[in-house]
Amino acid sequence: MTRRPSSPGFIIRTHYMEPLNLTVTELALRLGISRKTLSKILNERGSVSPDMALRLSRAFNTTPQLWLNLQQTVDLWLAENTPGDWQKVTPLPMDQSETA
């Protein structure tokens, strides 16, 4: 994937907050979290945890997996597109009988 995937924060803002005319303060209250915590997620400075995924799924009638998958997709894309030591790892030779 060459394009950065949409973050959970982007999805929350565009698909839920804007159509429902929710402010950060209102949504934070509904989720039972601080405005600062929600703001971090919305501005892509914080991640969706399993607890947050449960809160979002209950609030928006979705599944927690949706939110965790969105976060995991962004995290993996960032890791793959940021130079790091993982790129120095070479594949281990595998015996053909072990791969089956």
**CB neighbours of 53 closer than 8 A, spacing ≥ 6?**
64, 65, 66, 67, 68, 71
Answer for the pair 7, 70: CB distance below 8 angstroms, yes or no: yes
- Global pTM reads 0.87
pLDDT at 97: 67
Give the pLDDT confidence of 29-84 residue by residue, as tens digits.
999 999 999 999 999 999 999 999 999 999 999 999 999 999 999 999 999 999 99
**In whole angstroms, what is the distance from residue 46 CA to residue 72 CA?**
13
